[in-house]
Structure 1
């Protein structure tokens, strides 16, 4: 299978389609699924933010500068070596999938944006499906070769290429006159779509069953670019200082219970102490100290978090203690020994772009057998943490992509 080539320079809409994506760590390819890829950039198994961002920068450069698969492979080798990333699969296969899929899907998304032009739609209201000419064609793709259907027909919401890994089929805008002149039969509606159930992610921690049109690879059953507008309109925050639950992306929630409680008891800090005492207790758990340089804490999945007293500075010379001072020891333990880690893109009041948040969740046993449910919400725009009032409140935050579950290391 030849690498993706288009025979022309990248165009503005294609470049924008890639630039608008937000890097998000994942464990498996199915963590970000289907149209969710219109908003998120991911590389299967790259579960640290720095790795994903490096790959996104590389792919963006490949697109903007028209570079080749050989160029990307050199970048891939350097990124994997720099981060010590033990990727799965052969180098040739992984690099081709990342390069081809991102180039083809961003190309298709850019073309879809061009096809939204009202004047073009008036002149060329039909879409023409052309098979890519593979030596080993997919029968269902080949069966659609030459099909002409109105661009606003729901059939295109499913069958707009790319329709699978390595698929090189194309979609063109045509008028009825052009289509008939070139020998194609014009249909006023697309054919009925036959669906089947497929189980994906069977080799990962969270397999699930999806409904997929017959002939299309799981994850490709959508029109590229259609998910780009979702979730980017600012909305009120669900909680003061916390991300927006209603607009978390992906919206999927956990399907299994939290890990069982630990047997050891976690002491809460004494109430009524000076804020410096609480700050020192938190920083000390990570080997940091007030007034010193921030230290880099590596969490259980290898993500590097800066820990220093700037976490508690309010910008006015005072202190801000997320979760209240007495809970800071439990919040420190939640970061160090979480029960689960989730990541999600969320909206912010002051930005039209989603921001990535990592959520560290823990269920701790407190003195006297009391239940302690804790959340740390960590993003590049800030962090916060708190003790949940009840299990339902904690459960609401178990959504997005789960990177870690205690007991499944």
Structure 2
């Protein structure tokens, strides 16, 4: 809110988020940070909903940090939440953690809203240049400070990486300039595009390769506004997740991408030992019976391990494996590929056998086998278990009933 006027674009950015419980700050990356609202260490759905309501109130009503801090304290007192933080006293610890939650969400929603405004065709025609504006922090990131005053065309690819915020606590901004304002700065045209010097690195959670940039925190090398408006989820489908019991297949969905042709050998031989199918599932993730994590196409973390195929008693003892149950072992490699390269990822609610309500992540993919058969593959993952289903019914009318809840990812094309 500025001068008492709600910043509607920033409000819309927050209001369209999906609540995603997380244990660590890097459980979500890039697109998942834009699509999802999370607070590291908050895994209870009700608690996360309370934090989201407090955050949205701060953005919508402009109530400021002090009011958010009161809401933060009330949630902690009510739930007994034990959170990670810095500080020697309880007051310092609460102030630090509340500030991180508040600042991160206010800055990302503000900059997403700014991007929406600045890329309006009428604004771009009159103000085709963007100037990087450093926050003026007392202890600046040197690279951010070196970009201060740099003017680039709004269409310069560098903004895909360096559009702020560029890290935790980054308060940098972008100002749009007209031709006249550019010349008033003594410039006859935009500055040379910066050499952002990308380098190869490894995701510390998953071991997957990732690209890093100097001066930009891990997980922040993306344009929050561009991802919001034209990223992995079409804007018209960026809807919050309805409450439990109210989710239903969405109407007027665009068709799924064309089926992918699979190479020979993706359907495994029948009547093999369970371990054969388990190994075939784990191999694409670089695992051999051990536990690991995989960052999916939406930017979220999914747990991958042999335990997915184990049936246990109430004490946690393994009773048997179930890799070949219902003949699905033959499709173990297809299940793995569906997680690695889905057509769509959806989030909705599921009820466990014990009656608990949990979030369910569904990976959907249409494929054509080497013999010409069409297969629809669905892999559902929750913290309480998983379900993998393959079927020959690949009709849109059948698939539509599984396209429900909130869309997290859609493969282009």
Bin for the TM-score computed over the shorter chain: 0.5 to 0.7
Question: Residue 258 of structure 1 aligns to a residue in which SS?
Answer: helix
Residue 231, structure 1, aligned to residue 254, structure 2: no
Is the 8 Å Cα contact of residues 147 and 185 (structure 1) preserved in structure 2? no
Residue 177, structure 1, aligned to residue 226, structure 2: no
| Structure 1 unaligned spans of 5+ | 239-246, 269-304, 308-330, 348-356, 363-373, 376-385, 390-399, 402-409
* Residue equivalent to 2:73: 77
Residue 51, structure 1, aligned to residue 42, structure 2: no
Is the 8 Å Cα contact of residues 248 and 344 (structure 1) preserved in structure 2? no
Q: CA deviation at 1:218?
A: 1.3
| Shift >6 Å, 4+ stretches | 5-8, 386-389
Tell me the distance in 2 between the aligned counterparts of 1:224 and 1:248. 17
Partner deviation per Cα, 1:172-229 (whole Å, 9 max, x = no partner): 1112321220235633652221123556666xxx676632211011122111122235
| Range that drifts further, 62-71 or 7-16 | 7-16
Shift in CA distance, 143/186, structure 1 to aligned 2, threshold 3 Å: farther
Residue 64, structure 1, aligned to residue 60, structure 2: yes
Counterpart selection for 2:382 from 359, 366, 390: 359
TM-score w.r.t. the length of structure 1 is 0.59
Is the 8 Å Cα contact of residues 196 and 213 (structure 2) preserved in structure 1? yes
Q: CA deviation at 1:83?
A: 2.2
Question: Residue 211 of structure 1 aligns to a residue in which SS?
Answer: strand
| Structure 2 unaligned spans of 5+ | 86-92, 238-252, 258-295, 323-348, 365-379, 392-406, 409-413
Partner deviation per Cα, 1:37-74 (whole Å, 9 max, x = no partner): 22111111111111111111100001111112121111
* Residue equivalent to 2:307: 258
Tell me the distance in 2 between the aligned counterparts of 1:77 and 1:231. 34
Partner deviation per Cα, 1:122-158 (whole Å, 9 max, x = no partner): 1111110111111111110011011111101110111
Is the 8 Å Cα contact of residues 130 and 170 (structure 1) preserved in structure 2? yes
Correspondence list, 1:54-133, <5 A: 54-89=50-85, 90-133=93-136
* Residue equivalent to 2:212: 212
* Residue equivalent to 1:33: 29
Bigger Cα Rg: 1
Tell me the distance in 2 between the aligned counterparts of 1:387 and 1:160. 41
Is the 8 Å Cα contact of residues 350 and 359 (structure 2) preserved in structure 1? no
Correspondence list, 1:2-401, <5 A: 9-89=5-85, 90-184=93-187, 186-187=189-190, 190-197=193-200, 210-228=210-228, 229=230, 230-232=232-234, 233=237, 234-235=253-254, 249-250=298-299, 254=303, 256-258=305-307, 261=310, 262=312, 265=319, 332=353, 343-344=360-361, 359=382, 362=385, 375=387
Q: CA RMSD in A?
A: 3.7
Tell me the distance in 2 between the aligned counterparts of 1:187 and 1:257. 55
Is the 8 Å Cα contact of residues 131 and 170 (structure 1) preserved in structure 2? yes
Shift in CA distance, 151/387, structure 1 to aligned 2, threshold 3 Å: closer
Shift in CA distance, 30/264, structure 1 to aligned 2, threshold 3 Å: closer
Q: CA deviation at 1:253?
A: 5.2
Tell me the distance in 1 between the aligned counterparts of 2:362 and 2:60. 25
TM-score w.r.t. the length of structure 2 is 0.59
Is the 8 Å Cα contact of residues 30 and 201 (structure 1) preserved in structure 2? no
Tell me the distance in 2 between the aligned counterparts of 1:257 and 1:20. 35
Is the 8 Å Cα contact of residues 30 and 200 (structure 1) preserved in structure 2? no
Tell me the number of residue pairs that the alignment of Structure 1 and Structure 2 aligns: 282
Tell me the distance in 2 between the aligned counterparts of 1:169 and 1:121. 21
Tell me the distance in 2 between the aligned counterparts of 1:111 and 1:168. 13
Tell me the distance in 1 between the aligned counterparts of 2:120 and 2:318. 63
Tell me the distance in 1 between the aligned counterparts of 2:101 and 2:362. 22
Tell me the distance in 2 between the aligned counterparts of 1:388 and 1:137. 53
Question: Residue 382 of structure 2 aligns to a residue in which SS?
Answer: strand
Shift in CA distance, 49/193, structure 1 to aligned 2, threshold 3 Å: same
Shift in CA distance, 198/101, structure 1 to aligned 2, threshold 3 Å: farther
Shift in CA distance, 361/235, structure 1 to aligned 2, threshold 3 Å: farther
Q: CA deviation at 1:79?
A: 1.1
